[in-house]
Amino acid sequence: MEFRLLGRVGVISGAGELQPGPAKRRGVLAALLLKANSPVSVDRLIGTLWDTAPPVHARTVVQGHVSRLRALLNAAGAGEHGVRLLTRGPSYVFEVPETLLDTYRFERLVRRGRSRLRPADTVADLTEALALWHGPALDGTAPSSTLRAAAQALEEDRLAAVETLAEGYGRLGDAAGAVAVLQAEAEAHPLRESLAGALVGALHRAGRRSDALDHYHRTRRLLAAELGVDPGAGLRREHETVLRASGKAVERRRSGAAEPVAPGEGGAVPRLLPRGIRGFLGRDAELAELDRAAGAGVPALVTGAPGVGKSALALHWAHHAQSRYPGGTLYADLRGFGGVPAEPAQVVREFLLALGVPAHGLPESAACAAALYRELTGRRALLVVLDDARGSDQVRPLLPAGTGSAVLVTSRLRLGGLAVEELARPVRVDALAPAPAADLLAAAVGEDRVAAEPGAAERLARLCDGLPLALRIAAAQLAARPHWQLADLAAELADEQRRLALLSLDDAQESGVAAVLRSTVRGLAPEAVRLFALLGVVPGPDLDRYAAAALLGRPAAVAAEALDRLAGAHLVTEHAPGRYSPPDLVRLYARGLTADDGALLRLLDGYAATALAASLAAEPGDKPCCALPATAVADLPVRRFADRDAALRWYAAECDNLAAAVTAARAAGHEDRAWRLAVLQWPYVVWSVRDGWVPLLEQALAASSRVGDPDAESRVRALLGWVLTREGRLSEALAHLEAAPALAARAHDPSSEAIALINLAVALDTDGITDTSLRHVTRAVRLAREADDVLTELLALQHRTYQLLTRGDVAAAESCTAYALALDDQGVTTGLGVMRRATLRLSRGEALLALGEREAAERCVRQALAEATRQGFQEGVNRARYQLARLKGTVAPQTRPGGDNRSVLSP
């Protein structure tokens, strides 16, 4: 099976050419193939088909075209070739092996042809590539500006390949072949000067000097008439060559230097470094790392995020260090993330020329050229700078052989292969801290301007993520607007809708923040690209592989690999093992990409499912405080927790993410998710009640009220009221707690009603035990017993004992604790069940001591101390130690027995 874009858009199968149908359907097919293996939204397809306002039924039309294309492909057995047309939310993904695309094969052949050392091989590859064209690109599609632009880009690639083919014929000495290739194209594109110049040169070398001069003058006149310009430098040079060869040229001043030769052979030492970056500041630690790597004789691998200043660091160090290397300095821009990546074989040839090998002495084969490069570099002390590498394979052939040489490699990727095989030493370049960021701004816009607004300068640095590229662009914006203050630009950049647009320049679009991010993502694995596009959906500060898996709707292992690839490209930072955070500018860029509308819901449901698992692991044996929504996304990967500590660690790590998820859920109208995400954190709320939970729980209350679920509202009010009680805000707490039991009763949930009554009693008992609170706890005990909810019954009996001890009824308290400790709590050995038993033992110890049974009291307290210590229940530990001290007579008796009972309640 083959998909054609280079000519009439279509599909070729084993049974012949498939018929996609009308022009608009071919346009849909072309748009999907141009973005093969990436999501294309319905809105983008609509914009592709209609330049003007689309018809009201445009979405239906597009969906119909996609449906018919899918049926056509299925009928042709496309799945057997790995081809699938998938629907992902509001987007479509045309999954297709790249080798089935004529555009991919064309690009691969052209790239290979340009890297060939033998001219005959170049001619063969380029001829095969151009044979893939069957007419104008994207022919047969509906006329639209989007498709015309795509077709023009493909046509530009074709013409460049034609010119490269002509060069290959020239290197073969076949000038007539070059003329044959160029003649028709030059006539079809008379204003393309590169074609005209190539044809003039080919005609001259073919012995057709008059034809060469005639074509030059015709092109010159056409340029003047159509564009009002003179021929460019390249075309003029070809004209002058013809004139000199004819004896009619006037000697002109030559430019450029003589070809260098190798040191020791009478030639100059090569110094190929481009100039350094102006205004380079700081980076002392990184420069020291480069010194250490050079001293150790291992390559230095400078890595970091796009725009962080890797090349600037490498060039700054190289300019200051190159005098240490008498053999010279070689430099190559490998264009790993900008333009067509440099082929190592071609770079080797350029290095050989710089090292003094004459052009006529260059080996024809890449293997021989590499061998000569190793021989020449083996006896020299060189500094080799390889900038913007895409992969280890691009770097290895360029490493010098001599042990006295130094190598600097810069890349946006980690290039682990170099670290493993070449012992390359990573030198990570991070974002600038506030002080050097302010210095960079001052160097660009003036120290007085920055000194006058230090706070605004710090804010600008933060809004630019500390990236030197972004800061330089911000400085350029300020320099162009001398009447602006730094605070004015900071206010503009604070608008997330405009920030990326402001961090690019009209004449430098390809060096703006968005451009470098786009070029970094290009070429990553499809799942990593898709996850990158979904980073803008993440509401919290970071994510782990399970959250990423939920976003993608894929297994956790796939998500982990995608995260690792993004981290390897420095698009996210692994700030803790397994936890990744994207910088703000990455988030903003990702939000502008085509995203899956179902991703947020998957993420919310993934968080909720994992929080439910965490609550069950943290409090084994307890009943879940809620179930997942009936509409929850199924089969999402959920983290499993080995024990209670693991669950609590997860809660601590995800606390900010879960809070942000509640806000995002409410903003998206998912109120049924919002309240669950809050109350499912109750085990962690119990353990960290002073951590400011009220705002989150107030959001949950608003969400539960909106969904009209009395059980949901009861649970939220019970937990919120308890937190407010612990914060000493009693009147606010009672407003929620007094409403919670009736709501639970309406929902016919006895366990929930029991918990609400207990929490209400705790609040009422703050200022002394009342008959009302006694009745609440008595009812709570009965409700929990009827529901066979042992842990909640233990909770009620725990507080009942506290009430009895506080009132001085020690006999009833001892009887209550004896009954409670005899209950079967289903073998629970961790969590609140153990804490409640420890608290009951402490209360029992107090009752026994009051009844004169000192030895039994001490045994009870020591057992409680052991249980509280194992659980990390510090209040229980403190209370047990106090009671033991009382038993030994080293402290005075408490004025009121019972201690504080409130730290171990449920929601």
- 251 has pLDDT over 60: no
How large is the average pLDDT for residues 427-449? 87
Confidence band of 594 (pLDDT split at 50, 70, 90): low
Q: Give the closest residue to 794 by CA, choosing from 770, 762, 821, 830.
A: 821
Confidence band of 511 (pLDDT split at 50, 70, 90): low
Residues 192 and 186: their CA atoms lie apart, in Å, by 7
- The overall pTM is greater than 0.75: no
866 Cβ contact partners less than 8 Å away, ≥ 6 residues apart: none
Q: Looking at 75-84, 386-395, 497-506, 814-823, which range is the least confident one? A: 497-506
- 247 has pLDDT over 90: no
- 9 has pLDDT over 60: yes
Q: Give the closest residue to 395 by CA, choosing from 300, 526, 260.
A: 300
How large is the average pLDDT for residues 102-129? 90
312 Cβ contact partners less than 8 Å away, ≥ 6 residues apart: 276, 277, 280, 468
What is the structure's pLDDT at 224?
85
What is the structure's pLDDT at 241?
84
How large is the average pLDDT for residues 36-57? 89
361 Cβ contact partners less than 8 Å away, ≥ 6 residues apart: none
How large is the average pLDDT for residues 127-153? 90
Q: What are the pLDDT digits (tens) for 267-305?
A: 468 888 888 777 787 788 899 999 999 888 899 999 999
Residue type, 514: A
Per-residue three-class SS string for 386-451:
EECCCCHHHHHHHCCCCCCCEEEEEECCCCHHHHHHCCCEEEEECCCCHHHHHHHHHHHHCHHHHH
What is the structure's pLDDT at 257?
35
Confidence band of 506 (pLDDT split at 50, 70, 90): low
- 498 has pLDDT over 50: yes
- 456 has pLDDT over 80: yes
Q: What are the pLDDT digits (tens) for 683-730?
A: 999 888 888 999 999 999 999 999 999 999 999 999 999 999 999 999
What is the structure's pLDDT at 644?
86
What is the structure's pLDDT at 674?
97
Confidence band of 877 (pLDDT split at 50, 70, 90): confident
Confidence band of 611 (pLDDT split at 50, 70, 90): very high
Residues 868 and 837: their CA atoms lie apart, in Å, by 9
Give, in order, the Cα–Cα distances in Å from 394 to each of 304, 332, 418, 477, 481: 18, 11, 11, 37, 43
Give, in order, the Cα–Cα distances in Å from 2 to each of 33, 178, 367: 11, 31, 34
SS3 state of residue 3: strand
- Identify the DSSP state of 186: H
The encoded tokens of residue 723 equal 């937190």
Per-residue three-class SS string for 187-243:
HHCCCCHHHHHHHHHHHHHCCCHHHHHHHHHHHHHHHHHHCCCCCCHHHHHHHHHHH
What DSSP string describes 803-848?
HHHHHT-HHHHHHHHHHHHTS--TT--STHHHHHHHHHHHHHHHHH
Residues 406 and 381: their CA atoms lie apart, in Å, by 8
Judging by DSSP bridges, how do beta strands 579-581 and 16-18 pair with one another? unpaired
What is the structure's pLDDT at 893?
58
Confidence band of 826 (pLDDT split at 50, 70, 90): low
- 66 has pLDDT over 50: yes
Answer whether 165's CB lies under 8 Å from 130's CB: yes
- 68 has pLDDT over 60: yes
Q: What are the pLDDT digits (tens) for 400-424?
A: 998 889 999 999 999 988 988 888 9
- 326 has pLDDT over 90: no
How large is the average pLDDT for residues 582-596? 88
Residues 685 and 691: their CA atoms lie apart, in Å, by 8
240 Cβ contact partners less than 8 Å away, ≥ 6 residues apart: 249, 252
Q: What are the pLDDT digits (tens) for 786-808?
A: 998 888 998 999 999 999 999 89
Half-sphere exposure of 550 (CA within 13 A, CB side): 24
Residues 605 and 593: their CA atoms lie apart, in Å, by 23
Judging by DSSP bridges, how do beta strands 406-411 and 300-304 pair with one another? parallel
Mean pLDDT of the chain: 87
Answer whether 781's CB lies under 8 Å from 793's CB: yes
What is the structure's pLDDT at 359?
82
What is the structure's pLDDT at 892?
59
- 862 has pLDDT over 70: yes
Q: What are the pLDDT digits (tens) for 641-685?
A: 998 889 999 999 999 999 999 999 999 999 999 999 999 999 999
Percent of the chain with pLDDT over 90: 51
